[in-house]
Structure 1
Amino acid sequence: MNKKYILSAEKAHMKLRRIAFQILEQNAEKDAIHIAGVKENGFLIAQELKKVLEEISTFKIELSAIELDKTNPIDCKIDPSVVFKNKNVLIVDDVVNSGKAMLHAIQPILAQQPQSVQTATLVERSYKTYPLHVNYVGVSLSTTLEDHISVVFKNGELHGAYLE
């Protein structure tokens, strides 16, 4: 199967910058935000968003990783020293397919009673099978069940996204 780029590195960075401005606009009255990225690529996207938000906002920004096996998302791990209680949390993943992994990533955070929870993704597939609304989306695609979307990083640098 052939790979078809849906986002070049330049366009992916533009989408992340737009998402950062949307986050700033929707959270203007808040003074802090905790970004939790789903490892591996979701965490790398979270790092990129953090960089942009630090450029354009005065938020105090914390960053943490959510360890989750997307084939078995029930076993979700977050560093126990990370506290989400009464915090504004943004959960980030690179691609939201069915919504299942993102929902499992939300569970341990909700257990700590955050003030708010929002979600962001670079690529969202429009046929989710779980009841999940993503607050901030870079690009939304209608694809077949057989299609696979990957976000590509090389040496920690975002190179884009492709469909195969």
Structure 2
Amino acid sequence: MQDTSTVILDKKQIAHKIKRIAYQIYESNVDETQVVIAGIMDNGFLLAKKIKTEVEKISPIKVMLCEVVIDKKNPTNEIKTSLKKEDYSNKSLLLVDDVLHSGTTLIYGVKHFLEVPLKQFKTAVLVDRNHKKYPIKADFKGISLSTSLNENVAVIFEKNNDRAVLE
């Protein structure tokens, strides 16, 4: 079967986008000593780890990582996180996913974290598809892409071959 996908971001471009997002996070948290970066499993968490590395390279901010498990087929199911609510309460929090498709996963993730008071709450994605069903936006994004509804965007994190493709 022939691969008909188009690479929209290659490894170098993804690294550049992540670095830019890290600087934006630093700028919006310049007075903070610690931020929580919560990544939606699977790819959102992989992206969150990469962002954490960059933020800690360029700033004195300590980053606490949080895994977020959301049932993407049924997001009203219980959302699980690797941190307890008191670990991120009254902190600056960034919720990360790889692609913002319809907004369903991100908005349910936002809802979960709003159950406790936060100093600041931002969202970040590598690719924003501009086909949202919910009133949600990415505060930090690598690229905005207008696609048709039948096209799919996939982010693939592989050793030495990170890429985002349009299928």
The separation in 2 between residues aligned to 1:41 and 1:56, in whole angstroms, is 23
Please say if residues 41 and 68 of structure 2, whose CA atoms lie closer than 8 Å, have aligned partners that are also in contact.
yes
TM-score (normalizing by structure 2)? 0.92
- Separation in 1, partners of 2:16, 2:71: 28
- What secondary structure does 1:72 align onto? coil
RMSD: 1.5
State which of 123, 127, 138 in structure 1 corresponds to 2:127: 123
Structure 1 portions without partners, runs of 5+ = none
* Structure 2: gaps spanning 5 or more residues: none
* Larger proportion of strand: 1
1:77 maps to 2:84: no
For residue 154 of structure 1, give the secondary structure of its aligned residue in structure 2: coil
- TM-score, normalised to structure 1, is 0.94
The offset of 1:51, in angstroms, is 0.2
Structure 1 pair 116–158 and aligned structure 2 pair: CA distance change class (3 A): farther
Given the superposition, is the C-alpha separation of residues 107 and 99 from structure 1 closer, same or farther in structure 2, using an over 3 Å criterion?
same
Question: Is the aligned partner of 1:97 residue 2:81?
Answer: no
Q: Is the 8 A contact 2:66 2:83 kept in 1?
A: no
Q: How many pairs were matched up?
A: 163
Shift of 1:158: 5.9
Percent identity of paired positions between Structure 1 and Structure 2: 36
* Alignment partners' CA distance in 1, 2:66 and 2:27: 22
Q: Tell me the distance in 1 between the aligned counterparts of 2:63 and 2:96.
A: 14
Residues 1:21 and 1:158: Cα distance change in structure 2 (over 3 Å): farther
Match of 2:61 in 1: 59
The alpha carbon displacement at 1:70 in A equals 1.6
